[in-house]
Structure 1
Amino acid sequence: MEEQLSFEEAFARLEEAVAALQDGKLPLERALSTYQQGMALAQYCNEMLQQAELTVQQLSVDDSGSPVVHSLDGLNE
């Protein structure tokens, strides 16, 4: 994506592309262009979700009552 969109903006554009394609009223060339844009938006959203997933951490308490930070995959940081 050339411009930096927030996840919400990109997802909204993706929903618009899907709705336009589902409508079935676009000329073939426009439909192909919309499909390509939608695929790029889907990839962009997926990458943003993967980046967010890497930053999500789970907090727990150990036996002594101290907080422990775990990464999403369960490894201590």
Structure 2
Amino acid sequence: MSKVNDKQEEKTLEEAFGELNGMIEQLEDSQVSLENSFQIYQEGMKLLKYCNDKIDTVEKKMLVINEDGGLDEF
């Protein structure tokens, strides 16, 4: 089972999404106990929050061209 570690910032979004897909597959397995399912769910929610935060950071760094041809932050 994947653990969401303290060094999440070293993880790319692609790696994080891959881990989330793995967690989904584990949750779909009928052999996984309820306790393990809940633990996987909690880890997945932490990882999802990390992904959302990372995406928000990228969006804030994006620039858009304004009407005057200058650049504004997104």
TM-score, with length taken from structure 1: 0.75
Counterpart CA distance in 1 for 2:22 and 2:16 is: 10
Could you tell which deviates more after superposition, 41-50 or 22-31?
Answer: 22-31
1:43-62 matches, cutoff 5 A:
43-60=49-66, 62=68
Higher relative contact order at CA 8 Å, sep ≥6: structure 1 or structure 2? 2
Shift >3 Å, 4+ stretches: none
Identity %: 29
- Structure 1 or 2: more helix by fraction: 2
For structure 2, the residue ranges without an aligned partner over 5 or more in a row are: none
For structure 1, the residue ranges without an aligned partner over 5 or more in a row are: 73-77
**Structure with larger Rg:** 1
Counterpart CA distance in 2 for 1:25 and 1:49 is: 34
Could you tell which deviates more after superposition, 46-55 or 5-14?
Answer: 5-14
Residue correspondences, number: 68
